[in-house]
Amino acid sequence: MALFNDLAIATRIAARDMRGGARSLWLLMAGVFVGVAAVALVGATSQSLVDGARQGALESIGGDLSLRLFHRPPSEAELTVIRREGDVGISTELRAMARAVGNGHAQGAPLLVELKGVDRHYPLYGAVETLPALNLYQTLNQKGGVYGAVADPGLFDALGLKPGDSLRIGRARYQLRGALVGEPDRAFRAFTLGPRIMVLSESLPATGVTDEGAEVYYYTHVKLPAKLHGRDGATAALARIDQSFPGSGWRMVNAHDGVPGVERTLSMAHVLLLFIGLGVMLVGGAGISGAVHAHVAEKMVIIATLKSIGSPPRVVTLAIGIEVMAVASIGAASGVGLGAFGPTFVASALVDQLPFALEAAPGIKPLLAAGLFGVLVAALFAWWPLMGVHDMKSQVLLRERITHPPGKLSVKGWLGAGIILSILVVLVFWVSPMPVLTVGFLVGALALAAFYYALGIGLSHMARILAKGKGANVRLALGNLHRAGAPTGPVVMALGLTLTILVALDGIGGAANRHIQNTLPHSAPDLVAFSIKPDMATRLGVELAASGIVEHQRIMPFLHARVQAINGVAVRELRIPGSLNWFIRGDRGVSFATNLPDGALWDDPQSDRPGFSVDATVMNKLGINLGDTITLNVGGQARTGVILNSRHVDWAGLDLDFPIIATPRSFSGIPYTLAASLKAKSGEGATLEAYVKNRFPDMPLIRVADVLRSLATALQAIVAGLEAAAMMCGMAALVVLAGSVLQGLRERTDEAVLFKVLGARRRQLLGQLTVEFFGLGTLVALAAVPLGISVAYGVTRAAGLASLSVSWTSSVALAVVAIFVTLAVGLLTTLGAYTTVPARILRNR
């Protein structure tokens, strides 16, 4: 009961005190607003993207269920079981070469296309958009003995065709009857290697491109009955199919669980941006602490008076705390309000780019979490100065105007801070899609913040030493860095964190961009060919060698396989690291060879039995060793082999290689095709492409340069987005700097008046300020630039990129900008104190 009485009294005191204004708390509001807005924008927008993707999952996946096979279509026995679950549609996808047909003969250069065969039931959900609007099945069906096709508008331009013209794919001719504008189950497949063509699946055998062993994906889509429509019904149906054919090698997808690859990508993007938002919150926390210190200093006389007339310390502390949290709540509410507009902004800005309808109304959970983050961070960073007010006596508080003695938290104080911090950790687990990774980031960020805070304390002590024997301006400037109550630690922490993040992002983005634009074009092949029939391999190798324009060629068998078991234990029963999802999920390209890509040979006894050479990184992460076994499902057949060899695969080089290469006997009896990587001699890339297309017109070719351009564009967009988000850290750091300067503004004003009375000129005082803030910015930059480059070096090494080539120009430019921004904010914040007329201050004192 006493607590409620104290709270009521404290509330009345706070309300009356706030009528007189609280200028110092505006910066607290700004710090909370920036942090909450960052987290709310990230959370609300990410949630809307995930919800939109899930709502469009049925159309994007093609049915309630999707079952994918590689190399072979589903058997009649399998289809019989699947049809018991609902309506079934089957589609076929592959890459092939298409050529225009004129006068009954193929003419012109062949073009790589994405070919899709569908049946009369396609699509089960959604609709295909064509121009002009057509009945799809009637359009694609035979007319006059010729099947029809609809194609991406880009194909008409590339081959110089128009509706009604013909093109040849393999051995078959098709008539183009319309433009393909939209496919419901292609919404999330943004990366393509050629224009799209859609035909009937029944027409594909005549082309020869789906012959045994060809690289073809067969999709079986199922639309469940209305009574089973839902996650549970879909899960049960998949279980029944898997139980009937456990070794078929399906890649099964339940549309009611969302789109797997898309959700993982959105989750990773959410976490990365959440890191930035939490970084903004962390940096802003230092500003909150400074603003509360400034508010306490501004209210020092009131606090001391209340204590002197008998107000309990708890009541006084509660009153100041209520003022602080009221302003923090306003800042949090404003940040949440701004964050709520995130989905609306994204929906309007990306309406033509997003493949699904985005829900503009924000979710409650991310906005609530962002608001709680802001309030709790404000409470945590305000705790120390408030506990200092609670524990100090009134006479000490009055002297605090001059001496700033450091406060110490009691056991109760540490307990309260621990409770707030624990709630924050729980909140992180609640809001993050990858909570363990997020907590790891927070631990690293806090360690980095502690490093910069310690650096600030070290700089403060160093300033005391360096000030000895220097001129007046330098001595006074350094004195501002080490005097009692100087906010050097928080300022260095905020500026250092921000500059480190920006330098690291610049280094990582620059290294990745240079790797794509400079390193890969010299090391990567110019062309990659696939779906090469085994009987063509010898002729291909001989003719390429005789052409005189090929510097390097590698031709290897190519099969798709799924990892089914490791040491006899099914992978679904094992705990697989998230970094190996690419290896475990879906089909992996595998090969077999007499000698390995690095030139090593199998030992004779080894090559005579099923066995594998496995990427060493994969082995280390899975915790497996030589002599262990892996079971692969290859075209519906289980093949088990012993790990006979490990090797390091350079995935960053883009050359033809595989995570698993088998001995020749391992895949005996399984149909396969070959793939080839071709590197032209210097300046002969276009000549090589023309030569291969002329000699092997039906062999699909991928220009690696096109892939590199797509990678570079995607990379630039990612880095630009992260840097834009990181600039919010910069905004928070400016709030910290301004708040820390205002924290000691009263003392600076008193000093300026004293110096002017003693004859100091305004120019001298401004010179002192310039030395102080320029020196502070420079010292922070000297620490942050090398540390940011070190972080970038570690990330690029972990990513397997070439050694980091430091762009000192951009790093120094960022440092110079940081120095001058520090100087500008410092001067603008303190200018009023140094331009004050002494007489006015002296009269009021």
**Residue 704 to residue 379: CA distance in whole angstroms:** 54
**Residue 14 to residue 317: CA distance in whole angstroms:** 10
pLDDT of residue 548: 86
Residue type, 303: I
pTM for the complete prediction? 0.68
Residue 179: both structure tokens together: 């433009």
808 backbone dihedrals φ, ψ, rounded to 5°: -65, -30
Q: For the residues of 796-844, what is the DSSP string, one character each?
A: HHHTTPSPP---HHHHHHHHHHHHHHHHHHHHHHHHHHHS--HHHHHHH
**Residue 634 to residue 612: CA distance in whole angstroms:** 14
pLDDT of residue 522: 67
Residue 613: both structure tokens together: 């050479």
169 backbone dihedrals φ, ψ, rounded to 5°: -125, 115
Residues 6 or more apart whose Cβ sits within 8 Å of residue 526: 678, 679, 680, 685, 688, 689, 703, 704, 705
433: preceding bond cis by omega (within 30 degrees): no
Provide the CA 523 distance to its chain's centre, in angstroms: 27
Inter-axis angle of helices 745-757 and 762-798, to 10 degrees? 140
The total of other beta-carbon atoms located within 10 Å of residue 844's CB is 6
691 backbone dihedrals φ, ψ, rounded to 5°: -65, -45
Residue 65: both structure tokens together: 């269920």
Q: Where are the domains of the chain?
A: 1-59+271-433, 65-223, 439-523+705-845, 550-680
**Residue 269 to residue 42: CA distance in whole angstroms:** 9
**Residue 127 to residue 595: CA distance in whole angstroms:** 49
What does the H/E/C string look like for 291-347? HHHHHHHHCHHHHHHHHHCCCCHHHHHHHHHHHHHHHHHHHHHHHHHHHCCHHHHHH
Mean pLDDT by 10 residues, the chain (845 residues): 74 77 72 82 77 71 86 88 92 91 70 92 89 90 92 89 91 92 74 85 91 86 84 88 83 78 67 73 73 75 76 81 87 88 72 62 82 87 77 62 49 79 83 74 78 81 75 70 68 80 78 68 78 85 87 87 88 80 79 73 63 89 90 85 85 76 87 88 85 85 78 72 69 67 66 73 76 81 86 72 63 82 76 68 63
pLDDT of residue 39: 82
Residue 124: both structure tokens together: 């089960």
Give me the half-sphere count of Cα atoms (radius 13 Å) on the Cβ side of residue 4: 1
**Residue 141 to residue 346: CA distance in whole angstroms:** 41
Give me the half-sphere count of Cα atoms (radius 13 Å) on the Cβ side of residue 803: 0
Residue appearing with tokens 């102080």: 772
